[in-house]
Structure 1
Amino acid sequence: MTLSRRVVLGGGIAAGTTLFVPALAARADDFDKPFTGFAPPSTVLREGTPASVGLDPAPIEAAKGQLLAHQDGPAGGRPMYAGHVGLMAHDGVVVATQTGGYAVRYRTATEELPEADRVPMRRDTIFDLASVSKLFTSIAVVQLIEEGRVQLEAAVADYLPEFASAGKSGVTIRHLLTHTSGFTAWLPLYSRYPDKESRIAAVMNQPLTNQEGTVYRYSDLNLIALGVLVERLRGQSLDEVVSSRLTEPLGMIDTGYNPAARERTAATEYQAVPARGMVRGEVHDENAWSLDGVAGHAGVFSTADDLAVLAQALLNGGTYRGARVLDRKSVALLITNFTEDFPGDDHGLGFELNQTWYMDALSGPRTAGHTGYTGTSLVIDFQSRSFATLLTNRVHPSRSWGSNNPARRDWAGGLGRALPITPRGSHVAWETEARHASNAILAVPLAVPGAGARLGFDLVAETEATDVLRVETSPDGVVWTLVPLDIRHPGDTREGADDGSVSGTPGERRWALVRAELPAATRHLRWRYTTDANTLGRGVGASRIRVVGRGGVIVDSDSTTDAFAASGWSMSRRQ
């Protein structure tokens, strides 16, 4: 594969569901040329560099620095986490790893260990994945669907008769996998009930808070019930099922429940209630702990390298090193959005989709992943055949110290921004920089004649709804007016008119053709991209900018580059 070099010159499915069906893969060189199918099943991970697969190393190096900064914390403040292990891969190549801090740093919730007694973080440190465990349970359920032993739209009570109690006979397998069952978000099973049997019975007997299918509400109870279903149909415990049908075939030797290698695990929280002390080598989640460490919603421990194998197996369409754990259609089910009625809560079967709040610049309709309460996250982007894993022990020593969402975004976003946006042909391109709460402006002076002029440019935009690109003109540089835009994608029969602003386009990874009419007496033209303080998408790129009047070309971004003034935009040229 020949890639361009980026040179920085300046600053049983429900009716109506659309199923992602694997297609023949198109070779994807850049962010703006997404793959359309799975990776070759023979793809095996190997170590490499960003440059070896055409990635820009600068955003990745920046992400590494950000992880270290979060770990150090602000001056006089608390660190975001005691330690971390991060891994990025693209097109079958591990392009970056980052390890820092400590697997064990604290003795209690307020007391640090002496330096000599701390346990440094290592690449093979084993982490409590917390809710990332839900992906393992979901895969176990989809394996049953693949075998025809479970129907996606069948009632859960068809397989667990006791589940029908308290008005739940209409809840289906799909409802549980997509968090649309109507269950309450959480119950204190560990403290309210005396033993494992009564805790499971409490889930089965729990009434719905809302009618099934009417709300999206993330709930541990959904996956606890599915874990019981897997055990009932397989005649094995959930840990045995996951081991024999998923982790062992894939060679994930450090992944499972109740890890034996306690000395390699990262500590989580110091718990006074219940009186567990510093939790290490046992599941942090109290409900999973009260279920002997094996539950559908939590309990899996793993390493960054083992999760990399799982991610690549899914990118390969369900297989790795000759071991097939799912067929391609089953993987397609996992990443099909079944919650289109709940915008913003896109969800496949177990997998969350298109969640900018932790996927950042990798977000898109075919970006799947999950987070874990202990500070873990996995983001798999099928459009670029990339994934980013970040494992931290952010609850060590206390869950009250805050969230590591900024680190999750920085890590996934660093990989997303490393994928080059390449202009079509040998043209200059301008791209917005990754800045929060900013107002990035690309401006050029004009002298539009009385007859007016036409603006044309190529646009690629991958933004969240609250980050907005505005194309504006002004006669004096003081009063600015939006320019109505005609936006079209090559090969797409749809036509799109816009009021002059563009936002809310996650996953829109292709160049569009933009045309507009500029009024007479226009003296200034600008592209203004405004971001908020929350999350970022990839941003905006513009290329082949031309303003043409009746007398000829007024502005051409390729030949009059020096005429453009940029703040918060960087320029690149295809080489």
Structure 2
Amino acid sequence: MNLSRRVVLGGGLAAGTALFAPGVVAARADDFTRPFTGFAPPSTVLREGTPQSVGLDPAPIEVAKRQVLSHQVAPAGGRPLYPGHVGLMAHDGVVVATQVGGYALRYRNATEELPESERVPMRRDTIFDMASVSKLFTSIAVVQLIEEGRVGLETPVATYLPEFAAAGKGSVTIRHLLTHTSGFTSWLPLYSRYATKAARIAAVMNQPLTNPVGTVYLYSDLNLITLGVLVERLRGQSLDEVVAARLTQPLGMTDTGYNPAVKERTAATEYQAVPARGMVWGEVHDENAWSLEGVAGHAGVFSTADDMAILAQALLNGGTYRGARILDRKSVSLLITNFNEAFPGDDHGLGFELNQVWYMDALSGPRTAGHTGYTGTSIVIDFSSRSFAILLTNRVHPSRAWGSINVARQEWAGGLGRALPITPRGNHVAWETEPLHATNAVLSVPLTLPATGARLGFDLVAETEETDVLRLESSTDGTSWTLVPLEIRHPGDTRTGEEDGSVSGTPGERRWVQARADLAGGQQTLRWRYSTDGNTLGRGVSVTRIRVVGQGGVVVDSDASSATFTASGWTKTSRS
């Protein structure tokens, strides 16, 4: 059962130079179960620090670092997930972790490695082809027009681009494009089917819909290509000029833009035989964006981890950074409002994906926004904890066929999510599940109860994906197990949920709830069994303040008798 309600680049840093000024930040007892509301103070400026300086547990972050670094090494008989990466994590205005590894250029062609002397090492200021993360820049440019009153969210696109009405698209609105509910097909080979940029844009405008407007969620590059054209039409400037003037330059994102000027500072992507581009290095990887002269609404932006960190913090600040405002607070709220409630699992704000555990992992939730890029990039911004995780790789170097890097994305975001402590209310013993795939984590306690039975109570945090399930079970013989029905109480409101003894799903509440159950009399074993699959992980499960009270008084109190509990796949903690 579910607990929830339901430009041109140049300059740059010298190798090894940090973008942010070092500083010491007073530790603060933020934790996963005390989510922030609203935005960070607008004066928040990123600075370097340690996980401990902002109350984080450094251990999960170190695990994530090792995991992400390991993927650069090919397993026996296999290939590495990517040649190199740059990762950055931040929480509450402090950059708590960075990591640089591998190569920006490693291969001569699709199969042949360069000699070590010719390879280009990855640096913290390496510029990456952001691929579909570019869609966020276009979306922000559109929302700026909405904020100015020049575009209506629910207004048909054809109001601004009359040619878009062709082939029955007259009812498609700006919102439909931003949330991928327009009915457009996912992709067209514009680069090979049409000879000129004008013909390629016209093909998008003339393309009929594959599905009726607003009936399905289908991720489509055509949505953002259209919006890029709209921005250019209304601003009277090219998209790269708009993004530079209204986003990257005000924020000081000096290494972000389209068509980078210094190839050697970029991470190489794919060796392409068809079209015959050779090793794609210093120009956009996406063929359609390439055919549109490197500037398109769906792809084309190049950036660094530090520049993307500035954008993330500006959004956490409510649209401002170092006194420069790119959006007002209401507009940022629109970016992270789920407009796709009719399509569960495909939560989407305006341009931003929301609550996608498949790459956001332990940071996922209704107020977690982000995007991935085909070249191997990802950004996860968690407004509830004022944290973000950025992982940039060149995973398509030398070939897109070498596979997915979603496991690395999960590990990087998950490491930051699990670094946020789950703190029991008061000084109590607690158990937390370990982040393990395809396992049964069991916490059990033997009970001898009076014939009249007993009452169980415990506090619970459950932030899991739908297919990872916590079950409360009892057994009299240790072989046959029966679910124990639960009553879930949510402090601070009047909700009471009746559960069948199992809990799953990610509610996004990030707070302790009270669980109660009636237990039958007699000798038995009670267990909390958390089953995970081999796919993704959420934050996991924590339990504390476990008490069993019968007619004669307290039978078990986890604080006083924790030694009677047996744990496998659970870690015992005690925090004040």
Q: Which amino acid aligns with 2:212?
A: Q
| 2:453 aligned residue | 452
| Alignment pair present for 1:324 and 2:316 | no
Deviation at 1:73, TM superposition (A): 2.9
Query: Post-superposition shift, 1:522?
Result: 4.2
- Whole-Å Cα distance in 2 between the matches of residues 393 and 356 of structure 1? 22
Aligned equivalents of 2:34 and 2:76: distance in 1? 42
- Matching of residues 283-298 of structure 1 within 5 Å: 283-298=284-299
2-structure distance, mates of 1:201, 1:40: 44
Please name the residue that 1:162 is paired with. Answer: 163
Give deviations 1:82-123, integer Å, cap 9, x for gaps.
000000000000000011000000000000000111000000
Q: Which residue number corresponds to residue 471 of structure 1?
A: 472
Measured after TM superposition, the shift of residue 76 of structure 1 is: 2.8
Which residue of structure 2 lines up, in the alignment, with residue 273 of structure 1? 274
Encode CA deviations 1:403-440: one digit per residue, 9 max, x unaligned.
00000000000000000000000101100000000100
Does 2:143 correspond to 1:142? Answer: yes
> Any conservation in 1 of the 2:179–2:349 contact (CA below 8 Å)?
yes
Secondary structure at the aligned position of 2:72 is classed as helix
- Identify the residue that residue 8 of structure 1 maps to in structure 2: none
Query: For 1:301-312, what aligned pairs fall within 5 Å after superposition?
Result: 301-312=302-313
* Post-superposition CA distance 1:318-373 (Å, at most 9, x none): 00000000000000000000000000000000000000000000000000000000
| Contact map agreement 1:460 1:508 (CA 8 A) in 2 | no
| Residue 336 (structure 2) aligns with | 335
Task: Tell me the residue number matched to 2:19.
Answer: none
Aligned twin of 2:18? none
RMSD over aligned CA atoms reads 0.9
Contact 1:363/1:506, CA 8 A, preserved across alignment: no
1:191-210 alignment to 2 at 5 Å?
Answer: 191-210=192-211
The alpha-carbon deviation at position 479 of structure 1 amounts to 1.0
Question: Counterpart of 2:333 in structure 1: which amino acid?
Answer: A
Q: 1 CA distance for matches of 2:474 and 2:549? A: 15
CA distance in structure 2 between the aligned counterparts of 1:124 and 1:522, rounded to whole angstroms: 63
Matched, 1:386 2:387: yes
Indicate how the Cα distance of structure 1 residues 239 and 523 shifts in structure 2: closer, same or farther if over 3 A, else same. Answer: same
1:509 Cα deviation from its structure 2 partner: 0.5
The alpha-carbon deviation at position 29 of structure 1 amounts to: 1.5
1:432-456 Cα distance to aligned partner (Å, 9 max, x none):
0000001000001110110100000
Task: State how far apart, in whole Å, the 1-side matches of 2:343 and 2:97 are.
Answer: 35
Q: Please say if 1:227 is aligned against 2:240.
A: no
Residues 183, 215 of structure 2: 8 Å contact kept? yes
8 Å CA contact 2:138–2:224 kept in 1: the answer is yes
Q: Which residue of 2 aligns with 1:5?
A: none
Distance in 1 (alpha carbons) for counterparts of 2:224 and 2:473: 49
The match for 1:176 is 177
**Are the equivalent residues in 1 in contact too, given 2:29–2:55 (CA < 8 A)?**
no
Instruction: State the one-letter code of the partner of 1:486.
Output: E
Report how far residue 508 of structure 1 moved. 3.0
Contact 2:443 2:568 in 1 (8 A): yes
Partner of 1:264: 265
Preserved contact between residue 488 and residue 515 of structure 2 (Cα < 8 Å) = yes
Matches within 5 A, 1:230-269: 230-269=231-270
Instruction: String of CA shifts for 1:227-277, please: whole Å, max 9, x gaps.
Output: 000000000000000000000000000000001121100000000000000
Distance in 1 between residues matched to 2:141 and 2:523, nearest whole Å = 62
Name the counterpart of 2:371: 370
Contact 1:506 1:537 (8 Å CA) reproduced: no
Asked if structure 1 preserves the Cα contact closer than 8 Å seen for 2:483 and 2:501, the reply is yes
Is the aligned partner of 1:72 residue 2:73? yes
In structure 2, distance between residues paired with 1:124 and 1:321: 21
Aligned residue for 2:310, secondary structure, equals helix
In structure 2, distance between residues paired with 1:149 and 1:505: 37
TM-score normalised to the size of structure 1? 0.95
Distance 2:148 2:136 in 1: 18
Q: Distance in 2 between matches of 1:201 and 1:28?
A: 55
Cα distance in 2, alignment partners of residues 60 and 220 from structure 1? 34
Distance 2:229 2:167 in 1: 18
Q: Distance in 2 between matches of 1:208 and 1:337?
A: 23
Kept after mapping to 2: 8 A contact 1:362/1:412: yes
Give the match's secondary structure for 2:103. strand
**For 2:262 and 2:124, how far apart are their aligned partners in 1?**
15
**1:130-168 CA deviation, whole Å, 9 max, x = no partner?**
000000000000000000000000000000000000000
Aligned match of 1:31: 32
Q: Give unmatched runs, 5+ long, in structure 1.
A: 1-17, 19-26
Aligned to 1:350: 351
Is the 8 Å Cα contact of residues 171 and 213 (structure 2) preserved in structure 1? Answer: yes
1:531 deviates by 0.2
Q: 2:515 is matched with which residue?
A: 514
Q: Under a length normalisation based on structure 2, what TM-score does the superposition of the two structures give?
A: 0.95
For residues 509-560 of structure 1, what are the alpha-carbon distances to aligned partners after superposition, in whole Å with 9 as ceiling and x for unaligned?
A: 0000110000112410000000000000000000000011111111111010
Does the 8 Å CA contact 1:137/1:297 hold for their aligned counterparts?
Answer: yes
Matched, 1:426 2:427: yes
Which residue type is aligned with residue 137 of structure 1? T
Alignment partner of 1:573: what SS? strand
Q: Secondary structure at the match of 1:409?
A: helix
The answer (yes or no) to whether the contact 1:461–1:508 under 8 Å persists in 2 is no
Residue number in structure 2 paired with 1:543: 544
Aligned partners of 2:173, 2:245: CA distance in 1, in Å? 26
Query: Would you say the 8 A contact 1:464–1:506 is kept in 2?
Result: no
Partner-residue secondary structure (3-state), 2:219: coil
Distance 1:522 1:260 in 2: 74
Question: Aligned partners of 2:263, 2:489: CA distance in 1, in Å?
Answer: 56
Counterpart of 2:426 in structure 1: which amino acid? G
Note if 1:115 corresponds to 2:99. no
Aligned equivalents of 1:507, 1:255: Cα separation in 2: 33
SS, match of residue 473 in structure 2? strand
Q: How far is 1:28 from its partner?
A: 7.3
Secondary structure, in 3 states, of the residue corresponding to 2:466? Answer: coil
Paired with 1:293 and 1:574, the residues of 2 have a C-alpha distance of 53
Look up the match of 1:21: none
Do 1:28 and 1:34's aligned partners in 2 also have CA atoms closer than 8 Å? no
Identity of aligned pairs, percent? 81
CA contact (8 A) 1:473 1:522 kept: no
User: Does the 8 Å CA contact 1:28/1:384 hold for their aligned counterparts?
Assistant: no
Note the C-alpha offset of 1:506. 4.2
- State the AA in 1 paired with 2:158: A
Aligned residue for 1:400? 401
Distance 2:55 2:245 in 1: 37
Report deviation, 1:505: 2.0
Quote the Cα distance in structure 2 between the aligned partners of 1:128 and 1:333: 27
Match of 2:522, SS?
A: coil
- Conserved? CA contact 2:381–2:388, under 8 Å: yes
The answer to whether the 8 A contact 2:489-2:495 is kept is: yes
The answer for the alignment partner of 1:100 in structure 2 is: 101
Distance 1:517 1:205 in 2: 64
Counterparts of 1:442 and 1:85, CA distance in 2: 38
Alignment partners' CA distance in 1, 2:234 and 2:52: 48
Counterpart of 2:471, as a letter, is R
Deviation at 1:34, TM superposition (A): 0.1
- For residues 479 and 454 of structure 2, the distance between their equivalents in structure 1, rounded to whole angstroms, comes to 21
CA distance in 1, matches of 2:257, 2:523: 65
> Within 2, Cα distance between the matches of 1:355 and 1:490?
27
Does the Cα contact within 8 Å between 1:362 and 1:416 map onto a contact in 2? yes
8 Å contact kept, 1:32–1:510: yes
